[in-house]
Protein backbone atom coordinates (compact mmCIF):
# COMPACT_ATOMS: atom_id res chain seq x y z
CA UNK A 1 0.00 0.00 0.00
CA UNK A 2 1.20 3.50 -0.77
CA UNK A 3 0.87 6.34 1.72
CA UNK A 4 -1.54 8.11 -0.63
CA UNK A 5 -4.01 5.25 -0.31
CA UNK A 6 -3.98 5.44 3.49
CA UNK A 7 -4.44 9.19 3.21
CA UNK A 8 -7.47 8.75 0.97
CA UNK A 9 -9.10 6.31 3.36
CA UNK A 10 -8.42 8.64 6.29
CA UNK A 11 -9.91 11.59 4.40
CA UNK A 12 -13.09 9.65 3.56
CA UNK A 13 -13.55 8.36 7.11
CA UNK A 14 -13.01 11.79 8.66
CA UNK A 15 -15.42 13.41 6.21
CA UNK A 16 -17.94 10.86 7.43
CA UNK A 17 -17.35 11.91 11.07
CA UNK A 18 -17.70 15.59 10.16
CA UNK A 19 -20.89 14.92 8.22
CA UNK A 20 -22.45 13.07 11.14
CA UNK A 21 -21.71 15.96 13.47
CA UNK A 22 -23.02 18.60 11.04
CA UNK A 23 -26.18 16.59 10.41
CA UNK A 24 -27.11 16.36 14.09
CA UNK A 25 -26.03 19.91 14.81
CA UNK A 26 -28.58 21.14 12.24
CA UNK A 27 -31.35 19.21 13.96
CA UNK A 28 -30.77 20.92 17.24
CA UNK A 29 -33.16 23.82 16.87
CA UNK A 30 -35.08 25.42 19.72
CA UNK A 31 -32.40 24.71 22.29
CA UNK A 32 -32.83 26.81 25.42
CA UNK A 33 -30.09 26.65 28.03
CA UNK A 34 -31.09 26.23 31.67
CA UNK A 35 -27.65 25.58 33.21
CA UNK A 36 -24.18 26.03 31.73
CA UNK A 37 -20.85 25.05 33.33
CA UNK A 38 -17.24 25.98 32.60
CA UNK A 39 -18.30 27.72 29.40
CA UNK A 40 -14.98 29.41 28.64
CA UNK A 41 -12.86 26.34 29.31
CA UNK A 42 -15.14 24.17 27.18
CA UNK A 43 -14.98 26.66 24.32
CA UNK A 44 -11.16 26.50 24.51
CA UNK A 45 -11.38 22.71 24.37
CA UNK A 46 -13.48 22.89 21.21
CA UNK A 47 -10.96 25.34 19.72
CA UNK A 48 -8.16 22.91 20.64
CA UNK A 49 -9.94 20.11 18.76
CA UNK A 50 -10.31 22.51 15.83
CA UNK A 51 -6.59 23.38 15.90
CA UNK A 52 -5.82 19.66 15.96
CA UNK A 53 -7.36 19.41 12.51
CA UNK A 54 -4.61 21.59 11.00
CA UNK A 55 -1.85 18.95 11.25
CA UNK A 56 -4.28 16.36 9.89
CA UNK A 57 -4.98 18.55 6.86
CA UNK A 58 -1.21 19.07 6.42
CA UNK A 59 -0.69 15.33 6.60
CA UNK A 60 -3.45 14.68 4.07
CA UNK A 61 -2.45 17.33 1.52
CA UNK A 62 1.33 17.60 1.79
CA UNK A 63 4.34 15.43 2.59
CA UNK A 64 5.82 17.92 5.08
CA UNK A 65 5.01 15.75 8.08
CA UNK A 66 6.89 12.79 6.65
CA UNK A 67 9.85 13.18 9.06
CA UNK A 68 7.42 12.47 11.93
CA UNK A 69 6.07 9.21 10.57
CA UNK A 70 6.62 5.91 12.35
CA UNK A 71 6.54 2.56 10.73
CA UNK A 72 3.60 0.25 11.31
CA UNK A 73 2.61 -2.94 9.52
CA UNK A 74 -0.13 -2.34 6.92
CA UNK A 75 -2.58 -4.52 8.84
CA UNK A 76 -2.26 -2.34 11.95
CA UNK A 77 -3.01 0.70 9.83
CA UNK A 78 -6.08 -1.09 8.45
CA UNK A 79 -7.09 -1.84 12.01
CA UNK A 80 -6.92 1.94 12.57
CA UNK A 81 -9.33 2.43 9.66
CA UNK A 82 -11.66 -0.13 11.25
CA UNK A 83 -11.54 1.71 14.59
CA UNK A 84 -12.48 5.02 12.95
CA UNK A 85 -15.36 3.30 11.16
CA UNK A 86 -16.58 1.68 14.39
CA UNK A 87 -16.21 5.06 16.15
CA UNK A 88 -18.36 6.70 13.46
CA UNK A 89 -21.10 4.11 13.96
CA UNK A 90 -21.02 4.61 17.74
CA UNK A 91 -21.12 8.36 17.12
CA UNK A 92 -24.35 8.01 15.09
CA UNK A 93 -25.91 5.64 17.63
CA UNK A 94 -25.13 8.04 20.50
CA UNK A 95 -26.45 11.09 18.67
CA UNK A 96 -29.68 9.27 17.83
CA UNK A 97 -30.17 8.23 21.46
CA UNK A 98 -29.27 11.60 22.99
CA UNK A 99 -31.40 13.63 20.55
CA UNK A 100 -32.09 17.20 21.64
CA UNK A 101 -30.19 16.73 24.90
CA UNK A 102 -26.91 16.86 23.01
CA UNK A 103 -24.70 19.91 23.35
CA UNK A 104 -21.10 20.69 22.39
CA UNK A 105 -20.78 22.41 25.79
CA UNK A 106 -21.66 21.39 29.33
CA UNK A 107 -25.28 22.41 29.43
CA UNK A 108 -28.65 21.41 30.75
CA UNK A 109 -31.43 22.46 28.43
CA UNK A 110 -35.01 23.30 29.36
CA UNK A 111 -36.93 20.05 29.39
CA UNK A 112 -33.69 18.03 29.54
CA UNK A 113 -34.28 14.31 30.08
CA UNK A 114 -31.86 11.69 31.37
CA UNK A 115 -31.15 9.20 28.59
CA UNK A 116 -30.34 5.63 29.65
CA UNK A 117 -31.19 3.91 26.38
CA UNK A 118 -29.23 2.88 23.30
CA UNK A 119 -25.47 2.98 24.01
CA UNK A 120 -26.25 4.89 27.25
CA UNK A 121 -27.52 1.61 28.65
CA UNK A 122 -23.91 0.37 28.86
CA UNK A 123 -21.70 3.44 29.22
CA UNK A 124 -22.23 7.03 30.34
CA UNK A 125 -20.10 8.63 27.61
CA UNK A 126 -20.54 6.73 24.33
CA UNK A 127 -19.94 9.89 22.31
CA UNK A 128 -16.60 10.50 24.01
CA UNK A 129 -15.82 6.80 23.63
CA UNK A 130 -16.49 7.23 19.89
CA UNK A 131 -14.13 10.23 19.81
CA UNK A 132 -11.46 8.13 21.58
CA UNK A 133 -11.90 5.27 19.09
CA UNK A 134 -11.61 7.71 16.21
CA UNK A 135 -8.49 9.27 17.79
CA UNK A 136 -6.73 5.93 18.24
CA UNK A 137 -7.80 5.00 14.71
CA UNK A 138 -6.45 8.25 13.24
CA UNK A 139 -3.12 7.71 15.04
CA UNK A 140 -2.71 4.16 13.72
CA UNK A 141 -3.92 4.91 10.20
CA UNK A 142 -1.74 8.01 9.76
CA UNK A 143 1.25 6.47 11.59
CA UNK A 144 2.43 10.01 12.27
CA UNK A 145 3.47 11.49 15.64
CA UNK A 146 2.32 15.01 14.95
CA UNK A 147 -1.12 13.86 13.83
CA UNK A 148 -1.43 11.48 16.79
CA UNK A 149 -0.37 14.12 19.36
CA UNK A 150 -2.61 16.82 17.96
CA UNK A 151 -5.57 14.53 18.60
CA UNK A 152 -4.39 13.06 21.89
CA UNK A 153 -3.84 16.44 23.53
CA UNK A 154 -7.47 17.63 23.44
CA UNK A 155 -8.64 14.09 24.21
CA UNK A 156 -6.57 13.92 27.39
CA UNK A 157 -7.98 17.28 28.37
CA UNK A 158 -11.48 16.05 27.77
CA UNK A 159 -10.85 12.96 29.85
CA UNK A 160 -9.21 14.81 32.74
CA UNK A 161 -11.66 17.69 33.13
CA UNK A 162 -14.80 17.47 31.08
CA UNK A 163 -16.03 13.99 31.99
CA UNK A 164 -15.98 14.46 35.75
CA UNK A 165 -17.46 17.97 35.53
CA UNK A 166 -20.21 16.64 33.29
CA UNK A 167 -21.02 13.86 35.76
CA UNK A 168 -21.10 16.37 38.58
CA UNK A 169 -23.50 18.57 36.64
CA UNK A 170 -25.74 15.61 35.75
CA UNK A 171 -25.77 14.44 39.38
CA UNK A 172 -26.76 17.95 40.53
CA UNK A 173 -29.57 17.99 38.01
CA UNK A 174 -30.90 14.45 38.24
CA UNK A 175 -29.91 13.53 41.81
CA UNK A 176 -30.44 9.92 42.80
CA UNK A 177 -31.64 8.97 39.35
CA UNK A 178 -28.18 9.77 37.96
CA UNK A 179 -26.35 8.19 40.90
CA UNK A 180 -28.32 5.00 40.38
CA UNK A 181 -27.54 5.18 36.65
CA UNK A 182 -23.82 5.57 37.53
CA UNK A 183 -23.92 2.38 39.56
CA UNK A 184 -25.09 0.38 36.55
CA UNK A 185 -22.83 1.80 33.85
CA UNK A 186 -19.14 2.37 33.15
CA UNK A 187 -17.66 5.67 31.99
CA UNK A 188 -16.25 4.60 28.64
CA UNK A 189 -16.13 0.82 29.00
CA UNK A 190 -19.20 -1.24 30.05
CA UNK A 191 -19.24 -2.60 33.59
CA UNK A 192 -18.83 -6.33 33.68
CA UNK A 193 -21.69 -8.15 35.36
CA UNK A 194 -21.58 -11.81 36.20
N1 LIG B 1 -21.03 12.54 27.64
C2 LIG B 1 -22.06 12.08 26.75
C3 LIG B 1 -22.80 13.23 26.09
C4 LIG B 1 -21.96 14.18 25.33
S5 LIG B 1 -22.84 15.65 24.80
C6 LIG B 1 -21.46 11.13 25.76
O7 LIG B 1 -20.24 11.06 25.65
O8 LIG B 1 -22.21 10.44 25.06
C9 LIG B 1 -22.73 16.64 26.25
C10 LIG B 1 -24.06 16.96 26.86
O11 LIG B 1 -24.79 15.77 27.04
C12 LIG B 1 -23.94 17.56 28.25
O13 LIG B 1 -24.09 18.94 28.15
C14 LIG B 1 -25.05 16.91 29.08
O15 LIG B 1 -26.05 17.83 29.34
C16 LIG B 1 -25.63 15.86 28.15
N17 LIG B 1 -25.71 14.51 28.72
C18 LIG B 1 -24.69 13.72 29.10
N19 LIG B 1 -25.14 12.50 29.50
C20 LIG B 1 -26.48 12.52 29.35
C21 LIG B 1 -27.53 11.57 29.57
N22 LIG B 1 -27.28 10.33 30.02
N23 LIG B 1 -28.80 11.95 29.31
C24 LIG B 1 -29.08 13.19 28.86
N25 LIG B 1 -28.14 14.13 28.61
C26 LIG B 1 -26.86 13.81 28.85
Over pLDDT 70: what percentage of the chain? 98
Residue nearest atom 11 in ligand 1 by C-alpha distance: 102
Closest ligand 1 atom to Cα of 115: 23
Cβ atoms < 10 Å from Cβ of 150:
23
Over pLDDT 90: what percentage of the chain? 89
Domain spans of the chain, in order of start: 3-184
pLDDT tens digits along 141-173: 999 999 999 998 999 989 999 999 999 999 999
> Residue 194: its pLDDT value, please?
61
Evaluate: CB of 114 within 6 angstroms of ligand 1: yes
pLDDT tens digits along 44-86: 999 999 999 999 999 999 999 999 999 999 999 999 999 999 9
Phi/psi for 42 (5° steps) reads: -65, -35
Q: Flag whether pLDDT at 132 surpasses 90.
A: yes
Evaluate: CB of 81 within 6 angstroms of ligand 1: no
**Mean pLDDT along residues 169-181:** 97
Higher local confidence (pLDDT), 26 or 70: 70
Query: What architecture (CATH level 2) is domain 3-184?
Result: Up-down Bundle (1.20)
Give the Å distance between the CA of 101 and the centre of ligand 1.
7
- Substitution site in 39, 43, 101 for ligand 1 pocket (most atoms within 8 Å of beta carbon): 101
Strand 33-37 to strand 106-109: parallel, antiparallel, or no bridges (unpaired)? antiparallel
Q: What is the mean pLDDT of the chain?
A: 94
CA distance 137 to 83: 5
Evaluate: CB of 166 within 6 angstroms of ligand 1: yes
Give the Å distance between the CA of 102 and the centre of ligand 1.
6
Instruction: State pTM to two decimals.
Output: 0.95
**Mean pLDDT along residues 115-122:** 98
Cβ atoms < 10 Å from Cβ of 133:
21
Q: Which residues contact 189 (CB under 8 A, 6 or more apart)?
A: 123, 129
Evaluate: CB of 171 within 6 angstroms of ligand 1: no
Amino acid sequence: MHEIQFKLILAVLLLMSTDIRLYYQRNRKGFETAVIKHERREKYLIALFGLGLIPIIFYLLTSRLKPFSFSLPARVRWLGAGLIFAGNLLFIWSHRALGRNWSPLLEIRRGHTLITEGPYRFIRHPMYAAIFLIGIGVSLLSANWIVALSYMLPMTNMYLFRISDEEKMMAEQFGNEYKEYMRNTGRLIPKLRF
